[in-house]
Amino acid sequence: MNQPTILRIPGPTPVPPSVTRAMQQPMIGHRDSETAEILRNVQPMLQRVFGTTQQVQTIAGSGTSGLEAAVVNCLEPGEKAIVCVTGAFGERFVSICKAYAIDVIVLEERWGDPVNAERLRETLREHPTTAAVFLTYCETSTSVLNPIAELSEVVHDESDALVIVDGVSCIGAVPTEMDTRGLDVVVTGSQKALMLPGGLMFAAFSERARTKMKQTKTPRFYLDLQKYDLATNEFSTPFTPATSLLFGLQEVLHLFDEETLDHVYARHELMKQMTRAALRAMNAELLAADDFASPTVTAFSISGTPAKDIRKKLKNNFGVRFAGGQGHQKDTIIRIGHMGYCTPVDMLQAISALETVLLELNHSFTPGAGTVAAQQIFLNQGGAIHV
């Protein structure tokens, strides 16, 4: 039998069948009115997803192009930026800033911890000329959801720095509230909570950021966000868009609208709780504390059982893919993705498969305890979340 691929990694994530079908439509001209129509249609829902009245730019490129766009549009060589590093994606911001000769102050936490607001406050006081603070909303490598509302408040209290947020692995699964939280630049990608294949980047920016971009002289061409800003005013794009992905995006946003964003967010919260309760019942160690655990991904380890053995058996026995760690945690942790086209029953499947593998590997726990714990969490919410 051709084994199915059950993707429970934190991106790329499964694509809903109606989105796959939408992407198979015949090609249209990017200067035709049909393309303008799609760009017009997607704007209101993208703004709700971002929580902004600013327009959201849709750009062909992976999530990292969004990170790079934030840097080259907002900062010049020699300007100072604080990069909050809580894992591999915070490190990526450091690398991009260094590539553009930004004067980088790294504020690093132990991988598995969130950014500490008081340390950020002290760092801002030590560096009063800081032009931007970089935050990772969900640090995918450790499954920590950083408290960006609180951190943004600290930045605005202490400085005039821009707040720049990488939301790649959670926007569309958690509230972003860009405007009320004072986030100046927010970027995400298509292949995580937005249920599309890789290839699109989304960026929105505040009026403050727009002003800074006008003054910023760092050379840029394809990733010049001002070009997209102007084109989006006319429901157009400066260059050929990834049209098939736009077809898919329109369908994704239609699915969000049908389900309602509140239900989408509550479903992710429930999947997180089911996963964490199950892992605890299986005597797993969770990397992130409850208060900072992301609704989109969960990182854990099983003491005494190598992570790669577990992942290999899940793949060979069931076709279930979990991810390993990143950087120095590559071989020590496992990450379960539960975002996008993923529902509570998918978690029951993943948990039960994991239990079977742990039994096979002689890990000590009560057989079935993980599944029972997840079922209990599901039952406790009284049917509020359903498919």
Ligand X SMILES: *Cc1c(COP(=O)(O)O)cnc(C)c1O
Residue closer to ligand X (CB basis): 65 or 159: 65
Judged by CB under 6 A, does residue 114 bind ligand X? Answer: no
Binding residue for ligand X, selected from 7, 11, 22, 35, defined by CB under 6 A: 11
- Asked whether 143 and 136 are in contact (CB, 8 A), the reply is no
Residue closer to ligand X (CB basis): 52 or 136: 136
The packing angle between helices 225-233 and 207-215, to 10°, is 130
Compute the least distance from the CB of residue 148 to ligand X, in Å.
Answer: 12
Judged by CB under 6 A, does residue 168 bind ligand X? Answer: yes
Compute the least distance from the CB of residue 189 to ligand X, in Å.
Answer: 4
Residue closer to ligand X (CB basis): 8 or 313: 8
Compute the least distance from the CB of residue 175 to ligand X, in Å.
Answer: 17
User: Which pair of tokens denotes residue 8?
Assistant: 């429970």
Compute the least distance from the CB of residue 238 to ligand X, in Å.
Answer: 21
Compute the least distance from the CB of residue 328 to ligand X, in Å.
Answer: 17
Residues 47-106 close enough to bind ligand X by CB under 6 A: 62-64, 89
Binding residue for ligand X, selected from 54, 169, 176, 298, defined by CB under 6 A: 169
How do strand 185-189 and strand 162-166 relate by DSSP bridges? parallel
Residue closer to ligand X (CB basis): 137 or 205: 137
Q: Which residues contact 120 (CB under 8 A, 6 or more apart)?
A: 82, 84, 107, 133, 151, 154, 155
Judged by CB under 6 A, does residue 295 bind ligand X? Answer: no
Residue closer to ligand X (CB basis): 123 or 190: 190
The packing angle between helices 261-281 and 369-380, to 10°, is 150
Residue closer to ligand X (CB basis): 11 or 295: 11
Q: Which residues contact 382 (CB under 8 A, 6 or more apart)?
A: none
Binding residue for ligand X, selected from 166, 184, 229, 346, defined by CB under 6 A: 166
Residue closer to ligand X (CB basis): 198 or 319: 198
Residue closer to ligand X (CB basis): 35 or 143: 143
Burial of 131 (0-12, 13-18, 19+ CB in 10 A): buried
Kindly write out the interface string for residues 132-161 of this chain, putting x where it contacts ligand X by CB under 6 A and - elsewhere. ----x---x---------------------
The packing angle between helices 33-50 and 243-259, to 10°, is 50
Question: Which residue number has the CB closest to ligand X?
Answer: 63
Across the strands, what pairs with 300? 286, 334
Compute the least distance from the CB of residue 326 to ligand X, in Å.
Answer: 10
Provide the 3-class DSSP secondary structure of residue 13: coil
Q: How far apart are the C-alpha atoms of 345 and 200, rounded to whole Å?
A: 28
Q: How far apart are the C-alpha atoms of 136 and 144, rounded to whole Å?
A: 9
- Taking the CB of residue 231, how many other CB atoms lie within 10 A of it? 16
**Torsion sign over Cα 297, 299, 305, 311:** positive
Phi-psi region of 9 (alpha: psi -120 to 50; beta: other; left: phi over 0): beta
**Judged by CB under 6 A, how many residues of this single chain contact ligand X?**
12
Compute the least distance from the CB of residue 152 to ligand X, in Å.
Answer: 17
Residue closer to ligand X (CB basis): 42 or 67: 67
Judged by CB under 6 A, does residue 198 bind ligand X? Answer: yes
Judged by CB under 6 A, does residue 189 bind ligand X? Answer: yes
Count H helices, E strands: the chain? Answer: 13, 15
Q: Give me the residues that bind ligand X (CB under 6 A), please.
A: 11, 62-64, 89, 136, 140, 166, 168-169, 189, 198
